[in-house]
Amino acid sequence: QVQLVESGGGLVQPGGSLRLSCEASGFNLDYYNIGWLRQVPGKEREGVACISSSDGPTDYTDSVKGRFTISRDNAKNTVYLQMNNLKPEDTAVYYCARPYGRFSPCPLSRYLYTYWGQGTQVTVSS
């Protein structure tokens, strides 16, 4: 079955960096869009970044453009989110997710994702 497992979260000071990993299993990663979304308690889950199938186009929410980079390594069945110049407002639980079907381009809307990982906590604080 489809499984997504996130890792790499933690506590980092403002201005620091983290790299999140999303290891996928149960499907051919190359065929599907993958997204990173985040959620703060009391707020809706928001799309942060996505990467289209076959290493296609990427998209980012405005607040992370120029700071975050999404990439994929299909040979390792893993999608990464490199986060630089982190800010306190980036604090959230980060999830990777996959849509049910195959389409283009990749979405940032949480409503278009069906399969989710368990999430990894990112805390940006001094």
Residue (of 61, 31, 50) closest to 95 by Cα position: 50
Residue (of 86, 24, 87, 35) closest to 59 by Cα position: 35
**Tokens encoding 94:** 């980060």
Mean pLDDT for 75-95 is 97
| pLDDT bracket for residue 54 (50, 70, 90) | confident
Q: What are phi and psi of 75, to 5 degrees?
A: -65, -30
- Tell me what the pLDDT averaged over the chain comes to: 95
Q: Give tens-digit pLDDT for 10-46.
A: 999 999 999 999 999 999 999 999 999 999 999 999 9
Q: Above pLDDT 90, what percent of the chain?
A: 92
Q: Residue 22 and residue 80: Cα distance in Å, rounded? A: 6
Q: Tokens 């994929």 sit at which residue?
A: 72
Mean pLDDT for 53-58 is 84
pLDDT given at position 104: 83
Mean pLDDT for 63-82 is 96
pLDDT given at position 64: 98
Mean pLDDT for 50-54 is 91
Cβ-proximal residues to 121 (8 Å cutoff; 6+ apart), any chain: 9, 10, 92, 93, 94
